[in-house]
Structure 1
Amino acid sequence: MSTRTYRLEDPDLLRRLMQRTGDGRAVSIRGLAEAADVHHSTIGHLLTGQQERASENLAQAIADRVGVDLAILWIQDGRTARSLRRLVTTA
């Protein structure tokens, strides 16, 4: 079982991807929650920014349902993510 966490890069991007998923159809908050096996409030909190982080399993399930690679929506938390943020802010 993975203990890695991921940070949602852009809630608005997730919202747009939910409007037209990889199969061409929209998915609701409840539909995405069902696919990811979480309560619908978790998806709502991710979309509003109340929650920024998710387990690797949840992040992957969300990416899979909307039809994109994990790295399109999520940044792995940890040293690598902190280093990338430092590079962006100093550039």
Structure 2
Amino acid sequence: MTHPVPLYRLVSADLLRTLMRRTGTGASVSVRELAALAGIPHGTIGNLLTGEQEAVLASSAHSIAAAIGVDVLVLWIPEGRSAEHISGRAPAVAL
């Protein structure tokens, strides 16, 4: 029996963009800098900002939030089977 992989859906690309301009330290961070700090591919950050990708694995969501300096629930909504069922489709996801 396999367990579902926890996913987190981005609240808003605009919110991510805003938080990147002013992180928890007050500094701004670029797409590549955020990706490096979070330990994920920079394409993932770019895809989240363009809306091409809506969700990431829980570990990536936590890493991005920590790199920006906010609580994970400020930027992400945990997804579950019920959320997928309601929307009628699975969210686009990458590592």
Gapped runs of 5+ residues in structure 1? 86-91
Shift of 1:67: 1.0
Secondary structure of 1:76's aligned partner: strand
Contact 1:20/1:26 (8 A) holds in 2: yes
Tell me the percent identity.
49
Secondary structure of 1:54's aligned partner: strand
Aligned residue runs from structure 1 range 31-50, under 5 A: 31-50=33-52
Alpha-carbon spacing, 1:84–1:65, altered in 2? closer, same or farther (3 Å): farther
What is the root-mean-square deviation of aligned Cα atoms in Å? 2.1
Partner of 2:65: 63
Gapped runs of 5+ residues in structure 2? 88-95
* Deviation digits for residues 21-62 of structure 1 (CA, Å, limit 9, x no counterpart): 001100000000001112211100000110001011100011
Q: Distance in 2 between matches of 1:10 and 1:72?
A: 10
Corresponding pairs, count: 84
The runs of at least 4 consecutive aligned structure 1 residues that moved more than 6 Å come to none
Contact 1:75/1:81 (8 A) holds in 2: no
Structure 1 or 2: more helix by fraction: 1
